[in-house]
Amino acid sequence: MGDWESIFKKDGKVFLTAQEDMEKIIKLLKKEKVRKILDLGCGSGRHTVLFAKQGFDVYATDISKTGLKMTRKWLKEKNLCAKLKEHSCYEKFPFKDKRFDAIISTQVIHHNFHEKVKFCISEIERVLKPGGLIFITVAANKRKQGATAFMMSEPRTYTPLDGKEKGVPHFIYTKTLMKKDFKNFKILSICRDNGNHWCLLGRLKET
Ligand SMILES: C[S@@+](CC[C@H](N)C(=O)[O-])C[C@H]1O[C@@H](n2cnc3c(N)ncnc32)[C@H](O)[C@@H]1O
């Protein structure tokens, strides 16, 4: 979907330092004795590398071949390993039920129309263990990546007509909608980061 592949090809890694909450999240994951983590939409690998360095058993997926290639190279440079797979988060995940202790996904799952985003959330629920943790960040605002013009393709879904993410639909969340779509999770916190994303920390309810 859209063109992170071109962005990575043109600009390289793009994200070099971890998302601002990641240090706190890693502390929590360690406290909870998390082992198997999925970095969903790993991009060029900033969090995959960080998690591998912290000793977690890391799986990472992304739709961008170039992103995955950069992640692989970054891991190799640091003498670390993780299992990488090319995959669209809007398709059935290539993992068995209840496979992961935690799933982290920063700035990924909102890159589509609402129905697709909700399917992705249902797959997150399927492959996460009951009681497992998520840290997911999604768009809270349409003004990003230097775009000046947008098309509203569906309610709450904006597609930039220029800028780096030209042509990529973004589903824009409200806090209320986050709570609704993540109703199967106990919400531990929801806050806004500096890049205008909602950051949701949650735990899958045991049914
Ligand atoms: C803003 S980047 C964030 C990358 C990474 N999570 C990070 O924080 O560094 C968005 C990522 O979403 C990925 N992406 C977009 N559509 C996707 C899809 N359908 N399936 C998986 N990844 C997708 C892009 O390839 C890109 O790596």
Q: Is the pLDDT of residue 1 over 80?
A: no
What's residue 143's pLDDT? 59
Distance 62 CA to ligand 1 centre (A): 6
Which of 3, 4, 25 for mutating ligand 1's site (highest number of atoms within 8 Å of CB)? 4
Phi, psi of 108 (to 5 degrees): -125, -55
User: Of all protein residues, whose CA lies closest to atom 16 belonging to ligand 1?
Assistant: 1
Ligand 1 contacts CB of residue 132 (under 6 A): no
- The residues near 201 (Cβ < 8 Å, ≥ 6 apart) are 25, 28, 133, 134, 135, 187, 188, 189, 190
Least confident of 68-72, 80-84, 123-127, 152-156: 152-156
What is the C-alpha separation between 56 and 162, in angstroms, rounded? Answer: 39
Q: Would you state the structure tokens that stand for residue 96, as one six-digit string?
A: 């068995």
CATH superfamily of 4-14+21-204: Vaccinia Virus protein VP39 (3.40.50.150)
At 164-179, the pLDDT tens digits run 888 888 999 999 999 9
What's residue 128's pLDDT? 98
8 Å CB contact between 154 and 113? yes
Pairing of β 128-139 and β 197-204 = antiparallel
Which of 63, 71, 136, 144 for mutating ligand 1's site (highest number of atoms within 8 Å of CB)? 63
Would you kindly state where each structural domain of the chain is located, as residue ranges? 4-14+21-204
Q: Is the pLDDT of residue 145 over 70?
A: no
Q: Is the pLDDT of residue 204 over 50?
A: yes
Least confident of 29-33, 116-120, 148-152, 173-177: 148-152
User: Of all protein residues, whose CA lies closest to atom 8 belonging to ligand 1?
Assistant: 106
Ligand 1 contacts CB of residue 101 (under 6 A): no
User: Of all protein residues, whose CA lies closest to atom 18 belonging to ligand 1?
Assistant: 88
